[in-house]
Structure 1
Amino acid sequence: MEREDILEEWFFESLKTYRDLYVYQLGCPSRVTEWTSGKTLCVAGFSPSQNEILELQLPRKLLAGDDQGLCAERDFRVLHGGSTDGPVCCLRHVPGTRCVVTNDGLSSDLQVWNLGADDGDVIRRTGGVAGGGGPAAAGGSRMAVGVSSRPQVLHGARSGDVRLTELSSGRTLFRLESDSADRLGSLQFVSDSVFIAGCWNGAVYLADTRTPAAPQLTPPPESSGESLRWWTDASVGPPGCRIVRLSSSGQTVISDLRNPGGAVSRARLAVQSGRCRLDEVRVSWAPALGGRVSVSGFSGAVQIYDTSVWGAEPREVQPLFQHRGHAVSQSQLGDGVPVPVPVSITGHTWHPERPRTLLSAASDGSVHLWDWVDQSAGSE
């Protein structure tokens, strides 16, 4: 089958499986896709040298609410842009401000940026936040931001150096009381003051910034003696506040935040663990679709799973939906035979307001915005 036939077959399949699909091409790949509003998002490159940091506006056809179906036009709009001296491996927008905070993945220090205003289109660096330093700095910091009257960021590279810093003054407002030095995979607020810190080894800390009390520690899930890397995400919507932990072998455990040491359900995901890229794996709860989680970083696809059908005993489960557009569009021809180009997903995120809309970025610099159809629920 020739490349044109492959693309044509996927095109007709996409007419039934997507409500919308928009494509954009960046100058270089991005690992960060962070919403700054329901209409705008930030992306930035992670090459070793200088990179662009951009704020993009979603396609106007999508914002107008028109049902345009499949659209491959480059109609994202660059609103603001700037350059960084190094890579951007983590980026968080501070709610209620025009400020974003970044980390280069090389140290635990943070960089603070102003996204610009209506009368200017330049993103400028305005300051920084010192990290914990020392050996823990290797691999960079994880960050989380919550809604607060005083702009602040929660950050750390290891469990023993997590702190909450006020951006305007650089003052430390809170430190996580932990004697361990587990590498962090994620930081996430689950309320205005309560957060979870997910570690690479699968352990999870639950802490409250209003109290100096020691955090609640949940040990890693049982993994049959395997040495695994774990990724963590928390859901605060229905059916309740739950934690998902995904391992590098595809083992997945869902826990209730009120009893994080227990397991509500388990599964083995249909992922290609041998192709796992540790810095690019993402697991994320859908903010407005109870029980749905998305996974990427194991291949050139973003997979969506329905955890509501999982049971107490682990069994292999298939995805409810797969977005394969990045890999399909990058097939090349060799001597008249289609040769798949290895494309990996470098990051993805759910839209904050549109329930089935996601944005994904890939190693070829492509960015896709897509609204998928849940055919199992009879969606039109």
Structure 2
Amino acid sequence: MEEEEEEEWLVESLGLYNDLHTFELQDPTRVIEWIGEKSVCVAGYENPRRNEILQLLLPQRLCSKGNQGLCPERDFKVELGGFSDRPVYGLKHVPQTSLLVTSGPPDGALQVWRMEPGETGVIKPVTTIPPSQGDEHSFCMKMATASFQAACVLHGLKMNNIQMTEVESQKTIFAAASPCTEELSSLHFLDGASLLACSDRGRLFLADTRQPQGQLGEVTDASLPSALGGHSWTAGVQPGTPSEPAGGKPLVARLSTGGHVVLTDLRSPAGPLSVAQCGVAPAPGFRGVALLAVSFAPLLEGHLAVSGFDGIVRIYETHQWDSATQEAQPAFLHKGHVFGGPGGAREPPLVTAHTWHPSKPRTLLSAASDGALHVWDWADPQGGATRSTGFAP
């Protein structure tokens, strides 16, 4: 982007954000995993043999209560660090433990890590969960963890090999049975007893994890409109809490490589609640479903974030959507990554990951393929911005 265009965006953004911080990681990450409410883990994915895994403390300004003016710490602080001898394509924190689980090439094995704060300040490898039979040469493993299934990780590559494993003992405590061999695109715990899986063709499946050999059953009548065939899909689930898990309000958003979003209520899946076309045009370097992400805001009802098509994170307000396909107008566009690429870059950066802050309704983190990591709080369009935006190098 031209330098003057970037400067113009920076000036305009002052009226759009309550807070906006930009940072440069040494290597790009495709994972942003929360460790509590003040720290996140990121990890490199480009180097075949040496990739950093870092636990970063958010800037003090974002951790403080309310608007407390200038804060001395306006940058991320490295709390813990380690190195992976393989690219990290997936990373999950095991709730109520100090353990992390990662996945990535060259096979379907999972690496288990322990975060050791204090004098050492390291993230060190503990053990490896070997790949399931048939996954030895695959690496697009999907994973899920949840507080209502502590010390366990749900993982799989295809619909017929999903299993739940106790992380430290490596004991398989659940294995899903299914004749479906479609690739798995996303995997979620709904509550302490059930899981939801989405295939790359957009089909939804449920299973009861209390049965060691549970049947993975397709969600009846939750099929996609026939006009939306031919795309790859991923899915996001409305988040829950241990007291009110996602199973209590089971909304699912499916996102296609064609830019369609389909909302389904699992309590009455006979047809979608709404279907929308996001009107996106994938940028050069678009990687298909690999980087696509759709997520519900945990504290802002009816809001979705979509990324992975280009350098933009799009926020949508879904209350006005209906069952007829319509052009969806975003409530907010975070364009910072478009302007953040290094000069002379061969192609503009792609957003590789995003996540909502667990306790700040309008705050998100997003990362891009150029190593940029952004933290941003977009202004309430009704209340306007507080114009307290800060930029950190």
Same fold per superposition (TM over 0.5): yes
Alignment of 1:319-338 (within 5 A): 319-330=330-341, 332=343
Deviation at 1:220, TM superposition (A): 4.2
Deviation at 1:136, TM superposition (A): 7.7
Distance 1:90 1:30 in 2: 10
Task: Note the aligned Cα RMSD (angstroms).
Answer: 2.5
- Tell whether 2:6 aligns with 1:16: no
Alignment of 1:207-286 (within 5 A): 207-211=207-211, 212-218=213-219, 220-224=223-227, 226-236=229-239, 240-273=249-282, 275=284, 276-278=286-288, 279-286=290-297
Q: Secondary structure at the match of 2:122?
A: coil
Q: What is the identity, as a one-letter code, of the residue corresponding to 2:267? A: R
Distance 1:249 1:29 in 2: 25
CA contact (8 A) 2:109 2:136 kept: no
Distance 1:297 1:2 in 2: 23
**Cα 1:249–1:223 shift into 2, 3 Å:** farther
Residue 164 of structure 1 corresponds to: 164
Q: What is the identity, as a one-letter code, of the residue corresponding to 1:177? A: A
Residue 35 of structure 1 corresponds to: 34
User: Which runs of 5 or more residues in structure 1 are unaligned?
Assistant: 334-338
CA deviations 1:70-120 (Å, max 9, x no partner) are 99x961000000101010000000111111100014322100001112232
Deviates further, 127-136 or 321-330: 127-136
**Cα 1:69–1:155 shift into 2, 3 Å:** farther
CA contact (8 A) 1:107 1:133 kept: no
CA contact (8 A) 1:88 1:103 kept: yes
Residue 202 of structure 1 corresponds to: 202
Residue 107 of structure 1 corresponds to: 107
Deviates further, 316-325 or 134-143: 134-143
Distance 1:111 1:151 in 2: 14
Alignment of 1:69-84 (within 5 A): 75-84=75-84
Deviation at 1:63, TM superposition (A): 1.6
Deviates further, 32-41 or 232-241: 232-241
Distance 1:285 1:44 in 2: 23
Distance 1:40 1:268 in 2: 34
CA contact (8 A) 1:280 1:346 kept: yes
CA deviations 1:290-311 (Å, max 9, x no partner) are 1111011111110001111111
- Tell whether 2:299 aligns with 1:288: yes
Distance 2:299 2:150 in 1: 28
Q: Secondary structure at the match of 1:79?
A: strand
CA contact (8 A) 1:15 1:69 kept: no
Deviation at 1:27, TM superposition (A): 0.8
* Identical aligned residues as a percent: 39
Alignment of 1:46-61 (within 5 A): 46-47=45-46, 48-61=48-61
Deviation at 1:137, TM superposition (A): 4.9
Q: What is the identity, as a one-letter code, of the residue corresponding to 2:349? A: V
Residue 389 of structure 2 corresponds to: none
Distance 1:361 1:70 in 2: 25
**Cα 1:185–1:39 shift into 2, 3 Å:** same
Deviates further, 254-263 or 201-210: 254-263
Deviation at 1:10, TM superposition (A): 1.6
Q: TM-score, normalised by structure 1?
A: 0.91
CA deviations 1:335-376 (Å, max 9, x no partner) are xxxx9951110111111111111100001101001111131x
Residue 377 of structure 2 corresponds to: 371
Distance 2:114 2:2 in 1: 47
Q: TM-score, normalised by structure 2?
A: 0.88
Higher relative contact order (CA 8 A, sep 6+): 2
CA contact (8 A) 1:159 1:180 kept: yes
Distance 2:252 2:149 in 1: 27
State how many pairs are aligned. Answer: 372
CA contact (8 A) 1:267 1:314 kept: yes
Deviation at 1:138, TM superposition (A): 2.0
Distance 2:61 2:283 in 1: 39
Distance 1:159 1:44 in 2: 27
**Cα 1:186–1:112 shift into 2, 3 Å:** same
Deviation at 1:286, TM superposition (A): 0.8
**Cα 1:331–1:151 shift into 2, 3 Å:** closer
CA contact (8 A) 2:178 2:217 kept: no
Distance 2:27 2:335 in 1: 20
Distance 1:133 1:283 in 2: 30
Q: Secondary structure at the match of 2:12?
A: helix
Q: What is the identity, as a one-letter code, of the residue corresponding to 1:214? A: Q
Residue 243 of structure 2 corresponds to: none
Q: What is the identity, as a one-letter code, of the residue corresponding to 1:314? A: T
Distance 1:150 1:313 in 2: 40
Q: What is the identity, as a one-letter code, of the residue corresponding to 1:260? A: P
**Cα 1:272–1:74 shift into 2, 3 Å:** farther
